[in-house]
Amino acid sequence: MSNNAADNLVQLRNIGISAHIDSGKTTLTERILFYTRQIHAIHDVKGKDGVGATMDFMELEKERGITIQSAATHCAWGQYPINIIDTPGHVDFTIEVERALRVLDGAILVLCAVGGVQSQSVTVDRQMVRYHVPRIAFINKCDRTGADPFRVARQLKEKLNHNPVLLQLPIGLESEHRGLIDLVSMRAILFGGEYGEEITETQIPEEYAAQAHEKREEMLDAISLYSDELTEAILAEEAISEELVIEAIRRGTLSLELTPVLMGSAYKNKGVQPLLDAVVKYLPSPLDIDNQALDLDKDEAAVTLKGELDLPLVLLAFKLEVSRYGQLTYVRLYQGTLAKGDSITNMRTGKRVKIGRLVRMHADEMEEIESASAGDIVALFGIDCASGDTFTDGRVRYAMSSMHVPAPVISLAVKPKDKKAEMNLSKALTRFSKEDPTFKVYLDEETNETVICGMGELHLDVYVERMRREYGAEIETGMPKVAYRESPTRMAEFNYTHKKQTGGSGQFGRVAGFIEPFQDGEFEFVNKVSGGAIPTEFIPSCEKGFKACLPKGAFAGFPVVGVKVTINDGAAHSVDSSDMAFQHAAIGAFREAYLRSAPVLLEPLMRVAVETPSEFQGAVLGSLNQRRGLIQSSSEDGAFSTVEAEVPLSEMFGYSTVLRSATQGKAEFTMEFSRYNPVPKSLAEEIIRAEKEKQK
């Protein structure tokens, strides 16, 4: 690897910006792009000028003032190139956060100085932990009334189990917020000019000197665990260099054992440049991160990918998007180089494709490039693949582990109004289901309706609106429906013989064993047949037959989950046994045993977090109790309260309207899937009756 290429890799930063709704992620990204000279004018999220933020380029995003799709961009801070992905805060678009974190090396966790660690901050942090992403915390909105960054830092420790270390102190809060004290350099930083672009470093104001020295001692004490040299310097009471402090913070951050905490106000243009300095100082380059792949030629043995340019190419397609120029495939290169005209192989399909166009994205704009190398995040055109596919140059057969995709919990029937709408709807559904793994489409064979499934009401609402706007599909929608499941609760044995005799050879197969509840997943098949009672070649046929019974249970007609099937005996015929005979035998056996296993109906429980002014706390608790909600916690923090509860999804439809009227529009809530839970017996009977009526 050439020195120049190695330097580029050491300097490159791939970062994501994640947070709870309305913490200021997109505003922060806008300021970063301005200070790195990627854009020349700052636009607000809810743009009064009608422009909207650069990264929120969809019409719907501008109107609603929310981020729906993660958007990628590229900029440079000094000699450090930075790839940034701005992700949505709404839990309905959680897949956008999942796939961004899957390919990023570091992240900025944005927290509101007033709201602190909120429900979605917890979800986002859990995703960062899942993908081992080191992060910096940025406490935003220090100019807002009620801002208290020290309380937010405490919440990082109490609610997220972080080890937060303050690297800055605010000079003034709320309307008095005018700058920061850097505890690493022990200098005050003031921001001037119309857009905070004029930075002045001065002595720490006298009234803050004692607090600054106290907090610096706390910082040195926390980071000395990650540097023996620093510990020695502290014990010897020697002068401590900035380089020594920076190195210790970097080590702690990369080990995921320490979270540097910075602060400011993105909207008021304060604290963004020091945050960019922290990104390049403390967050990892692609060379600092161990990325694993599976070697398909060696029984999927784990191999570590090295970010070197002369090694075989390995890249991951993490996001698909149909743009006005055709299908865009966002990829992250982990190893090797890629140039226009190169051929690459899809490890899932084995198909080889040629790279026609290679682009670097800036929100919805693009820049043509000739080549990309390890660590880069770029986009390809005209590549047919699925989200999560691995590509190589053919010299190795590696596959990257795919991202976690949560199962949809809500569905909605959509019906086109005329023939033209039907064609447009079909195009829209094909595109959206390819782009978003959490958006599913199927045809209900009984009602002949097209059903779309997603993560929540907002998720489906946005897609229905996009079908109308982007495809001109005039459609009608039914009522939202809950994704119920059913599951056995006790063991039941089976011993079933499938026998059919028609002219010529017949069909014969006998399977015996038992089914039982299974806690660790949706389905498990165990073969305990001994002595060749069922010939080995027919064992997969039995499994196939059992699996065929799962999409529609005999109890209520919903998919069956949490079931373990064990076969321990059977019989075959030398002439009449076949693959089909054993599939039918397994289907008959499952049906025979399933209703004796005392199946129950399961419903999705949602984790609901409501943030409300304390005066309405009682009304909020009452509204959740009425909806069969189980209150998990209720905490008060000054003028605001947070109520967390588990509530069945079926009870949450239309809750936003109820909450608005109960709290004069001052409360907001988020919800995400928690788990499946048995439905009370009387209610289950009602649901089953309604389902059977519908099927008639």
- We report the CATH number of the domain holding residue 355 as 2.40.30.10
Residue 122 confidence (pLDDT): 76
The reply to whether 271 falls in a domain is yes
- The model's pLDDT over 81-104, given as tens digits with 9 standing for 90+, comes to 888 876 665 556 667 667 677 788
Dihedral sign for Cα 359, 360, 363, 366, please: negative
The reply to whether 48 falls in a domain is yes
Same domain, 91 and 227: yes
Beta-carbon contacts of residue 100 (< 8 Å; ≥ 6 apart): 16, 18, 70, 85, 87, 318
pLDDT above 70 as % of the chain: 89
Q: Which residue has the higher pLDDT, 556 or 139?
A: 139
Residue 137 confidence (pLDDT): 93
Same domain, 129 and 151: yes
- We report the CATH number of the domain holding residue 669 as 3.30.70.240
State the average pLDDT over residues 224-245: 86
> Where is mean pLDDT largest: 193-202, 234-243, 480-489, 540-549?
540-549
Task: Report the DSSP beta bridge partners of residue 294.
Answer: 302, 399
The reply to whether 262 falls in a domain is yes
Q: Which residue has the higher pLDDT, 591 or 639?
A: 591
Same domain, 50 and 183: yes
Nearest to 95 by CA among 334, 414, 320: 320
Q: Give the pLDDT band (50/70/90) at residue 180.
A: very high
Which of 552, 575, 598 is where one domain is finished?
A: 598
Which of 228, 253, 288 is where one domain is finished?
A: 288
Same domain, 273 and 301: no
State the average pLDDT over residues 485-507: 85
Domain membership of residue 520 as a residue range = 489-598
The reply to whether 405 falls in a domain is no
State the average pLDDT over residues 58-79: 63
Q: By three-state DSSP, how is residue 74 classified?
A: strand
- We report the CATH number of the domain holding residue 61 as 3.40.50.300
Predicted TM-score (pTM) above 0.75: no
Residue 599 confidence (pLDDT): 92
The reply to whether 664 falls in a domain is yes
Of 20-29, 262-271, 506-515, least confident by mean pLDDT is: 20-29
pLDDT above 90 as % of the chain: 22
Same domain, 415 and 551: no
Dihedral (Cα; 249, 251, 254, 256), 10-degree rounding: -80
State the average pLDDT over residues 621-640: 86
Q: Give the pLDDT band (50/70/90) at residue 549.
A: very high
Q: Which residue has the higher pLDDT, 667 or 281?
A: 281
How many structural domains is the chain composed of?
Answer: 5
State the average pLDDT over residues 410-420: 85
Residue 662 confidence (pLDDT): 86
Average pLDDT in the chain: 83
Residue 680 confidence (pLDDT): 87
Same domain, 472 and 500: no
Strand order of the sheet with strand 71-77?
Answer: 71-77, 80-86, 13-19, 106-112, 135-140, 259-263, 164-166
Q: By three-state DSSP, how is residue 321 classified?
A: strand
DSSP state at residue 537: G
The reply to whether 81 falls in a domain is yes
- The model's pLDDT over 103-113, given as tens digits with 9 standing for 90+, comes to 888 989 989 88
The reply to whether 214 falls in a domain is yes
pLDDT at 56 over 50: no
Residue 49 confidence (pLDDT): 39
- We report the CATH number of the domain holding residue 421 as 3.30.70.870
Same domain, 527 and 667: no
Q: Give the pLDDT band (50/70/90) at residue 640.
A: confident
Same domain, 498 and 463: no
Q: Give the pLDDT band (50/70/90) at residue 57.
A: very low
The reply to whether 306 falls in a domain is yes
State the average pLDDT over residues 524-553: 90
Same domain, 248 and 207: yes
pLDDT at 587 over 90: yes
Residue 53 confidence (pLDDT): 47
Residue 607 confidence (pLDDT): 87
Same domain, 91 and 224: yes
Nearest to 525 by CA among 543, 550, 551: 543
Catalogue the E-assigned strands of 614-695: 630-637, 640-648, 668-678
Q: Which residue has the higher pLDDT, 395 or 667?
A: 395
Same domain, 261 and 392: no
CA separation for the pair 14, 72 (Å, rounded): 10
pLDDT at 48 over 50: no
Same domain, 386 and 240: no
- The model's pLDDT over 310-360, given as tens digits with 9 standing for 90+, comes to 888 999 888 877 766 667 888 888 888 898 888 999 888 888 888 888 888
State the average pLDDT over residues 640-649: 88
Which of 556, 572, 598 is where one domain is finished?
A: 598
